[in-house]
Amino acid sequence: MKQHLKKAQQSLENKLNHLSEGGTISLTLDEAAVYGVDQSDFLPAEEEVDDGR
C-alpha cells in the first residue's frame, strides 16, 4: 500500500510542477487520496449550480 501511495505522490508532484508552469492537470483517485482531496473540492457551491430553470 505504501508503495502505491508513494507512486501517486510522485505523479502528483510532477503534475504540480506542470501546473506551476501554467499547465492544467487532472487527478486520479489515488493522487487525490495522497493529499485528502475529495469530490466536493471540485463541485461548485450549491447556489452556483445551474439546474436548468
Report if residue 36 sits inside a domain: no
The total number of structural domains in the chain stands at 1
Q: Determine, yes or no, domain membership for 15.
A: yes
Is 33 contained in some domain? Answer: no
In a domain, 7, yes or no: yes
Domain containing 11: what range?
A: 1-25
Q: Is 49 domain-assigned?
A: no
Tell me what percent of the residues of the chain surpass a pLDDT of 70.
66
User: Domain for residue 12, yes or no?
Assistant: yes
What pLDDT, on a 0 to 100 scale, did the predictor assign at position 47? 56
Cα(31)–Cα(35) distance, integer angstroms: 7
Query: Which parts of 1-53 fold into alpha helices (H)?
Result: 2-20, 29-34
Model confidence at 23, pLDDT cuts 50, 70, 90, reads: confident
- Per DSSP, the three-state class of 1 is coil
User: What is the pTM for the complete model shown?
Assistant: 0.45
Q: Does residue 30 lie within any of the structural domains? A: no
